[in-house]
Amino acid sequence: MPFRRLMILMLVAATMLAATAAFAADARSYAVYPFEMNGPSQYKYLSRGIQTMLTSRLNWTGHFEPMVGSADLKEADRPKGKIEEVKKIQSLGVDYIALGSVVIAGKKASIDVRMINGDGHSWTKSAQTTISELIPAIDGIAKDIKGELFQKPGSKKATEEEQKREEARPESPMNPEFVTAAGAGKVMESTINPQFRYQGGTETPGRWRSQSMKFVNRGGFVQDVTGDGKKDLVVLTETSVKVLGIDGQRLKEVVSYEYGKLYSGLRISGIDLDRDGVYEVVLCTEMNRKPYSFILSFKGKTTKVLLDRNRNFLSVVRTPPNFTEALVGQRYDPSRTFYSKHLVEYTFSNGELVPVRKMNVPEYTNVFNLTYLPLKEGDYKIIVLNKYGRINLYDKNLEPLYESADSYNSSSTSLDTVSKGRGMNEENEKSRLEHLYFIPIPIEVASISDPNKKEVLLNKDLSVAGQIFSNYKNFSQGEIHAEFWDGVGLNLAWKTRRIKGTVTGYGVADIDNDGADELYCIMNTYPGALGIKHRKTLVMAYELNMGQ
C-alpha cells in the first residue's frame, strides 16, 4: 500500500513538471533596448529608466517574459536596420525585440515603441504626454501591446458601455495638488518633482492655508452673509456661530452669535431666503435629544434672529426639479430612532416655516444625510450616507443602485438616538446603552471642469483608530475625492493629496475673493489623540484654474 501511494505521488509530480515545462515552453520572450532620447541632455538618464519600466510592464508570467539579461543590453547594441533587427532576434533567442524613442520639447513628451518579430514584421505604438506623466503613458503602451498579442484580460478595447462610462468622467482641475484617477481625461502638468509633491508645504503652488484660530469648529460653509459683496467663512463652534472675513489668506472674526452651552450644535447651512444675494444661516442644535433650530441674519455685520428655537431638525438641501436650496425639516419622535421618512420641505414667510410638501425619500434618510445628484434631461440620483458612512445611491423611484465599500464624510458631531416604546418609561441614563448617530459632513455636488458633468465631492476618512473604534471620529488626515456617476455607480475622477488634519467641511467658492473659485477645506488641526483639547481651526484652499 505505501509503495502504491508512492508511485501515484511520483506520477502526479511528473505530470505537474511536464505541465510546467509545457507552460514555460509556450511563453513568448522579448528584449527591450535602451530608449533613444531626443531632447535636453538632462533627460538622457531616462533612456535606461524607460527601458526598465517597459521591460517590467510587458511581463506576463507564463505568456510573455523578458529575456534573461535583458537589462544588460546597451544603447550601442541597438540594431541599425531591418536586416540587423532580424539577426538580433535570432542571436538573442527571443520572439520579439522592442525599440523605442522619446522626443521631449518643453513639458511635452512623445513616445514611440516599435515591436519586431523574427520575420521582420513590426508595428508601432505611440503616445503624446507630458514629462510628469511618462509612467502612465508607458503603462498604456504596454497594455496595448499585450492586448494585441494575447487579448490579455483587461487589455481589450473598451466596449460601447465602457466607452460611455469613460465619457461621463469629468476632467481633472489643473493643479499639482490633485491626483488624477487612472483613465481620466485631462493630464496634470507640473514641473515639480513628484517625489517632493506628495504632502507639499504651506507654499505649494496652487494651494494656500490660513493661519490657525484658537477654537474648535464643527463644520461650516463659504457665502456672503454680511452683504458687503465679499465671501465670508461661517463656522460652527461648540457654543457659537462665527463669521470670519478672509483678507490676504488670513482669517479675521467679523461677528458671532452665541447659542449657549445648554445646546449642542449639530450643523449650520446657508440659504438665500429672500433672493437678495445675501445668505442667511440655518443653525440646528439639540438639547436632551430634542431639536432646536434657528435662522440667523448677519446683514450689516449685526446679528438678527429670524427664527428662534423651532422644534424641527432643520437643514438645507438642493431639491429637485430645480435643485435650488430649500429648507428641509424633520420632526422629533421619541418613539423612533432619528432615522425617519417624514421629511418636509418648507418655505420661510413672515417669520414662520410654511410646509410645502412631504418629501419622497428612501428609508433611513434624514435631514443631514440626504443629497441629490442632478443628471441630464431632468434625471437625478439620490445619495444617502448610511450610519456607517457608506454611500447608498438610489434612482428617482427609490430603487437602490449602488453602495460604496469605503466610508466618507464622518465627523465627531453626534446625536443620541435612543428610543423608547410608546407607553414605556425611558431607561435610566446610567444603565441604558447610548446609541450615537454621527452627523455627517454635508456632501457637495459641483461642476468644476465641465458644466455638463456633475462631480460628487467627498471627504475620504483616513484613520487607523477610526477603523478599530467605531465611535472615534477625530481623523488625523483626509482626502477630498471627486466622483462621478458612470451608469453603474460612483467612480473616482480625481482626488487631492493627503490633507493633514481633521476635515470638518468643504465646498467650492471664491473664498479669497479673487474672482475665481477654489476648492476649500475647513479643518481642525490634529495634535494627536492625547492632545485633542489643543485643536485649532484653519482653512486650506486649492486653485481650480491653474494654467488656464
- The per-residue pLDDT for range 123-133, each reduced to its tens digit, is 888 888 888 78
- Contact criterion met (CB below 8 Å) for 367 and 319: no
- The position carrying cell 461650516 is 220
Q: Is the pLDDT of residue 206 over 80?
A: yes
Most confident segment among 16-20, 43-47, 275-279, 338-342: 275-279
Q: What is the pLDDT of residue 527?
A: 83
- The position carrying cell 484617477 is 181
- Contact criterion met (CB below 8 Å) for 408 and 392: no
Q: What is the pLDDT of residue 190?
A: 38
Cell of 247: 483678507
Please report the sign of the dihedral spanned by the C-alpha atoms of residue 231, residue 237, residue 242, residue 246.
negative
Neighbour count for residue 424 (Cβ, 10 Å): 9
Q: Is the pLDDT of residue 548 over 60?
A: no
Indicate the average pLDDT of the chain.
Answer: 83
Per residue in 276-289, pLDDT (tens digit) is 999 999 999 999 88
Q: What is the pLDDT of residue 210?
A: 94
Which contiguous run of DSSP H or E holds residue 380? strand 380-385
Q: Which residue has the higher pLDDT, 27 or 360?
A: 360
Neighbour count for residue 138 (Cβ, 10 Å): 24
Q: What is the pLDDT of residue 397?
A: 94
Q: What is the pLDDT of residue 192?
A: 34
Confidence category of residue 251, pLDDT binned at 50, 70, 90: very high
How far apart CA 400 and CA 410 sit, in angstroms, is 22
Q: What is the pLDDT of residue 528?
A: 74
Confidence category of residue 118, pLDDT binned at 50, 70, 90: confident
How far apart CA 147 and CA 179 sit, in angstroms, is 27
Q: What is the pLDDT of residue 182?
A: 56
**Closest residue by Cα to residue 266 from 504, 508, 534, 463:** 504
Q: Which residues contact 75 (CB under 8 A, 6 or more apart)?
A: 33, 34, 36, 47
Q: Is the pLDDT of residue 24 over 60?
A: no
Q: Give the strand pairing for 444-446 and 455-462.
A: antiparallel
Q: Which residue has the higher pLDDT, 224 or 72?
A: 224
Q: What is the pLDDT of residue 469?
A: 47
Cell of 434: 447610548
Q: Is the pLDDT of residue 74 over 60?
A: yes
Q: Is the pLDDT of residue 154 over 60?
A: no
Q: Which residues contact 488 (CB under 8 A, 6 or more apart)?
A: 165, 402
Q: What is the pLDDT of residue 200?
A: 43
Cell of 298: 448677519
User: Residues 432-452: what's their mean pLDDT?
Assistant: 83
- Is this model's pTM higher than 0.85 or not? no
- Contact criterion met (CB below 8 Å) for 435 and 418: yes
Q: What is the pLDDT of residue 75?
A: 85
Q: For 316-354, give one letter per residue: b (16+ CB within 10 A) or e.
A: bbbbeeeeebbbbbbeeeeeeebebeebbebebeeeebe
How far apart CA 56 and CA 66 sit, in angstroms, is 8
Confidence category of residue 272, pLDDT binned at 50, 70, 90: very high
Which contiguous run of DSSP H or E holds residue 51? helix 46-58
- Contact criterion met (CB below 8 Å) for 135 and 114: no
Q: What is the pLDDT of residue 239?
A: 94
Lowest mean pLDDT among 28-42, 170-184, 209-223: 170-184
Per residue in 50-72, pLDDT (tens digit) is 998 899 889 888 788 898 877 78
Q: Which residue has the higher pLDDT, 426 or 349?
A: 349
Cell of 373: 445628484
- Contact criterion met (CB below 8 Å) for 375 and 168: no
Q: What is the pLDDT of residue 212?
A: 94
Confidence category of residue 376, pLDDT binned at 50, 70, 90: confident
- Contact criterion met (CB below 8 Å) for 393 and 383: yes
Cell of 129: 504626454
Per residue in 469-500, pLDDT (tens digit) is 455 566 788 999 999 998 889 999 899 989 99
User: Residues 509-517: what's their mean pLDDT?
Assistant: 92
Q: What is the pLDDT of residue 157?
A: 55
Percentage of residues in the chain having pLDDT higher than 90? 49
How far apart CA 109 and CA 124 sit, in angstroms, is 16
Per residue in 7-17, pLDDT (tens digit) is 555 554 544 44
How far apart CA 471 and CA 414 sit, in angstroms, is 9
Q: Give the strand pairing for 250-258 and 436-438.
A: unpaired
Tell me the three-class secondary structure of 404-469, residue by residue. EEEEECCCCCEEECCCCCCCCCCCCCCCCCCCEEECCCCCEEECCCCCCCCEEEEEEEECHHHHHC
